[in-house]
Structure 1
Amino acid sequence: MKFSERMGFVEVDNVIQFKSMSQRLKNDIFNFWRDEIERLYLNNPYSNHNETEINEFLWTHYFHETKPIGYDYIDTSQITAYYKIMKFYEVYDFLEFLMQTLLNNPVDTKKINQVLELNHSGFRFIGNQLEPISSETDIKNLESGLNLSIDDGHLQKAINELGKRENINLNTIMKESIDAVETATHQIAAELFDGQPKDTMGRSIAILKDNGFIENHPAYLKAFSNLYGYSSDGGIRHPKNRDYKVDQAEATFMLEICSAFISMLSLKKSDYKTKDLNK
């Protein structure tokens, strides 16, 4: 992370881009495909294709345009002018076309996925087609959990870590996510019932369940308790001799499911207070 970002002098975009595209992402996608076309075709001694042929291929097969009157060939500036005014979904359309035609190889798939991940795009290539890495429901749960402010800032810390462009600590995301749930359950159990500050999360959940606050199927609560154990036993929350190696998919999943659980707790808290008022 840059000095200006660490010190807070410039705003850092920590949000997964699902229905938008930052200028930096748009620029990085442009630089990716131009660099790869140069590598594969223009600077490749074994390639018989030149820049004019590449540009005219894109001009006719993607943009479906004919040559403007007075032009003998299409140059890169004309393609660039089209790219600059593309909406974010048009950029993804264009990128898919490139990955299915000129850049249809595993090396470029890996490279572009790294570009998308670095810029927090909500999409990745599976084969040569873009697929969402997170559903709209997951995005809403994350935003909802963050805005409820019953987790003592742990969700924000997890999101800040996920939002880093470099040196992301995935264990921190896991730890802060589950700590958010632990804090939220403590707060509700203490506010509404006889919960104590030093209670474990299992004890807090038991208090909520015994008082009819949580009436979910036991298997659901057991599944979440197992997630809590998974985050602890793997050395994530309480480091031990063996550290479980977390990948970004697991860390993101933990953040999303913990956000959803906090949203559910808050909704039930509102319902519970409403029932008390109506008694």
Structure 2
Amino acid sequence: MRFSQRIGKTSVRDSIQIESIDEKLENRLWNTIQINFFDVIGVNFHHKIDNDSDIGLVFNSIWQEFFENRADEIPKNQQRDISAREFVGYIKDWFFKSNWFEKYDFLEFLSKIDINYLKIEFDVRCNNSLKKEMSAYRLVDGHIVQITSEEEIVEIEDALVNSSKWEPVNTHLSTAIEYFSNRKNPDYRNSIKESISAVESLCKIIVGNNSTTLAPALKIIEEKYKVHGALRSAFTALYGYTSDAGGIRHSLLTDDIEVSMEDAKFMLVSCSAFINYLKVKLEK
């Protein structure tokens, strides 16, 4: 994570792309459209495309149904066949000028063509690109679905309070975000570790005992700040008693158990929300 993000000058939402598409994601999505859609269905820019061919039907569907253009204005060559070069060039020009949500509209449209007709698994390739660039959206059954909500982003941002009092908590949480949002080499295993450590650090600060661990600290907090016992037990169980003898750091996070982005995101958001909850309790 960059310095500007750690001190709160750059929003966490810049790492997890919600209601936005940066240049890297934009380029990757276009490459996916070009390589995993047009190339796969056999679009050759140097050959003519008959209006009644399979590719011609796909092109006409995109032209008339998505762009809502006039049928007789689709780019054609002198032989009145569809010009693949001009057609894809039109789409490319539109794509890089369009709004972020319009790009997702187009991906959704292509996905539905694939599901209903082509069967080339466009959504799988597209989702790989979205995942690599930390998009908050995925293609599910021909629909763009938001997998990271505004509320989740707010929880993480609120937990990153720039205060010396909470510096150890912020350090662990920032590191968890860094591991999670690394687009070249995400480390979900260590992201979970750091998310848990952020909660544990907060509990140590609250009880004033740097040598304690999460379970006994939560027990003290439960009694002193009226945290519901069921909630305390749930978090203690969820985090697997983060002791050196066992628990989540030595079971869930062992090398033989796969840890996914969804696991890491759940822990990051849950830990951030719990941190915010405990801070509110302290203020009362």
Q: Structure 1 length as normaliser, TM-score?
A: 0.79
What's 1:176 paired with? 194
What's 1:156 paired with? 174
Say if 2:271 is the partner of 1:270. Answer: no
Q: Helix, strand or coil for the counterpart of 1:165?
A: coil
Deviation at 1:235, TM superposition (A): 5.5
What's 2:39 paired with? 38
* Pair 1:71–1:21, CA change in 2 (3 A): closer
What's 1:199 paired with? 212
Deviations along 1:52-108, one digit per CA (max 9) or x if unpaired, are 665443221111012687964562222222212210011101110010014653632
Q: Distance in 1 between matches of 2:21 and 2:217?
A: 41
Deviation at 1:120, TM superposition (A): 0.5
Deviation at 1:24, TM superposition (A): 1.5
Determine which of 35, 38, 63 is the counterpart of 1:59.
63
* Pair 1:173–1:265, CA change in 2 (3 A): same
Letter in 1 for 2:207: A
Determine which of 98, 103, 108 is the counterpart of 2:110.
98
Residues 20-39 of structure 1 mapped to structure 2, 5 A cutoff? 20-35=20-35, 36-39=37-40
Q: Distance in 2 between matches of 1:241 and 1:84?
A: 43
Deviation at 1:38, TM superposition (A): 1.6
Q: Distance in 1 between matches of 2:98 and 2:254?
A: 51
Determine which of 135, 145, 150 is the counterpart of 2:159.
145
Letter in 1 for 2:155: N
RMSD of the alignment, in Å?
2.9
Q: Distance in 2 between matches of 1:140 and 1:160?
A: 17
The answer to whether the Cα contact below 8 Å between 2:17 and 2:134 also exists between their aligned partners in 1 is yes
* Pair 1:231–1:115, CA change in 2 (3 A): farther
Q: Distance in 2 between matches of 1:70 and 1:54?
A: 12
What's 1:19 paired with? 19
What's 2:184 paired with? 166
Deviations along 1:215-236, one digit per CA (max 9) or x if unpaired, are 2321111010011217664563
Unpaired runs of 5+ in structure 2? Answer: 1-11, 45-49, 77-81
The answer to whether the Cα contact below 8 Å between 1:37 and 1:102 also exists between their aligned partners in 2 is no
Q: Helix, strand or coil for the counterpart of 1:161?
A: helix
* Pair 1:217–1:210, CA change in 2 (3 A): closer
Determine which of 216, 221, 228 is the counterpart of 1:217.
228
The answer to whether the Cα contact below 8 Å between 2:161 and 2:170 also exists between their aligned partners in 1 is no
Question: Which has the higher mean CA deviation after the structures are superposed, 21-30 or 144-153?
Answer: 144-153
Determine which of 173, 192, 208 is the counterpart of 2:221.
208
Q: Structure 2 length as normaliser, TM-score?
A: 0.77
* Pair 1:230–1:33, CA change in 2 (3 A): farther
The answer to whether the Cα contact below 8 Å between 1:14 and 1:163 also exists between their aligned partners in 2 is no
Letter in 2 for 1:226: A
Unpaired runs of 5+ in structure 1? Answer: 1-11, 191-195, 272-279
The answer to whether the Cα contact below 8 Å between 2:189 and 2:264 also exists between their aligned partners in 1 is yes
* Pair 1:133–1:245, CA change in 2 (3 A): same
Q: Give the number of aligned pairs.
A: 249
Q: Distance in 1 between matches of 2:216 and 2:277?
A: 18
Deviations along 1:236-272, one digit per CA (max 9) or x if unpaired, are 368998753322211110111001111112222222x
What's 1:251 paired with? 264
Letter in 1 for 2:189: N
Q: Helix, strand or coil for the counterpart of 1:124?
A: strand
Deviation at 1:33, TM superposition (A): 1.1
The answer to whether the Cα contact below 8 Å between 2:215 and 2:241 also exists between their aligned partners in 1 is no
* Pair 1:264–1:107, CA change in 2 (3 A): same
What's 1:4 paired with? none
* Pair 1:185–1:173, CA change in 2 (3 A): same
What's 1:128 paired with? 142
